Structure 1
């Protein structure tokens, strides 16, 4: 990896860490960059997952004030995320690399659709909240626990737009402020990514330079997202994510 390629990966990590803290889908920035540099898809995914863990931790710390009073919720939902993330990571290693290359373009397209539809999802969540819909207390329902577990499977396997899925699910099924829900989302993503990354450490090849550069960038981006990231134009963020995501789909299908 040349100096300029290293800089590109580092900056992609910063962008991913920032975006993940705000809403999720940072993988759609870092993963295509690694593909463009010739990193094999599975190795790129594994290295990216490991590299984004510090960013998730940084974002969770940045939202620590909003986590106050949510210990019981975090324990219940966190257990589901941990289990799902481990299952997803095991599936990634157990299934052939060709299966990942075939499945991921569809997952990226799904993630891009979620990113594009995120404003409508947010409006729908706000409308339900205004109408008093959702769970009345601060605990997690069995339906939400199961849904978070399935999201964890997705996160452990690939994870692009995992945060968007979590925000939508919790926004609909929990009666709480979006900032507090976003704080929980950051912790759940950290758990799913963290357990998957730990599993990968002992089971597969990792591009350590790429993982380190993404880790450094995402850690800085996590703090940016928790402080000034909310001021970034949402439309510009979504446009960037869609362009980079489509480039990744093209790269996977044509090469």
Structure 2
């Protein structure tokens, strides 16, 4: 690996850590970058997953104020995320690599689509939340299993995991979006962590890639939990979509 390639991977980690903290979908930056540099798809995926763990933890810590009063909810949903993340990681390791190479373009396409429709999704979420404000609403019963399914997706690939989580939480949990985003960061960190632990023992990791993305994602997590909230959402969304489309083109050649 050249110095410039190492710098590019680290910068991709910064971008992914920032976007994961604010929106989700940071994998759509790091994963295509690794593919473009010639890292095999499965190795790129597991190395990326583990590398993003420090950034996820940093982002969750940065949102600690919004987590106040939500400890019971977070612990309950974290169980679903961790179980789902473990299942997704096992699926990644047991299914043949050809299956992953076939599924990945579909997952990236889905991630790009979710990012594109996120503004409309957010408006619907806000409308549902306002409709419930006058009543004492509890978390919907279907939130826990859907968070678990999102964890399966996150453990297997993870792109747009945060968007999926915000969709589930926003519709099923009566809290402001910033507080939901804080919960999302913790749940995503749980998924990445449990999958990362499994990958350490049984997967073919590129430890240099892990270290570079990890260092970058820590910086990105700090940015995302502070000044990143002030960045225009359309700019972030546009970057994700462009990178995702480039990845699709590269994979479908």
Shared fold (TM-score, shorter chain, > 0.5):
yes
Comparing 236-245 with 155-164, greater Cα deviation is found at 236-245
**1:142 aligns to what SS in structure 2?**
coil
* Deviations 1:207-232 (CA, angstroms, capped at 9, x unpaired): 11111000000001001000000111
1:197 shift after superposition: 0.4
C-alpha distance 136-27 of structure 1, shift in aligned 2 (>3 A): farther
RMSD over aligned CA atoms reads 1.3
Partner of 1:89: 89
1:128 shift after superposition: 1.0
Partner of 1:153: 152
C-alpha distance 135-251 of structure 1, shift in aligned 2 (>3 A): farther
Map 1:212-227 to 2 at 5 A: 212-227=211-226
Partner of 2:29: 29
Stretches of structure 1 that go unaligned for 5 or more consecutive residues are none
C-alpha distance 54-171 of structure 1, shift in aligned 2 (>3 A): same
C-alpha distance 16-225 of structure 1, shift in aligned 2 (>3 A): same
- The answer to whether the 8 A contact 1:25-1:162 is kept is yes
Partner of 1:238: 237
Alignment of 1:20 onto 2:20? yes
1:142 shift after superposition: 2.9
* Deviations 1:101-156 (CA, angstroms, capped at 9, x unpaired): 00010011001010001111111111111222799446x44310000000000000
Partner of 1:44: 44
Give the whole-Å Cα distance in 2 for the aligned partners of 1:236 and 1:134. 35
Partner of 1:58: 58
- The answer to whether the 8 A contact 1:134-1:173 is kept is no
- The answer to whether the 8 A contact 1:55-1:218 is kept is yes
* Deviations 1:81-117 (CA, angstroms, capped at 9, x unpaired): 0000000000000000000000010011001010001
**2:252 aligns to what SS in structure 1?**
helix
Partner of 2:184: 185
**When the two structures are aligned, how many residues end up with a matched partner?**
253
Stretches of structure 2 that go unaligned for 5 or more consecutive residues are none
Map 1:60-75 to 2 at 5 A: 60-75=60-75
Structure 1-normalised TM-score? 0.97
Give the whole-Å Cα distance in 2 for the aligned partners of 1:134 and 1:27. 38
Structure 2-normalised TM-score? 0.97
Partner of 1:130: 130
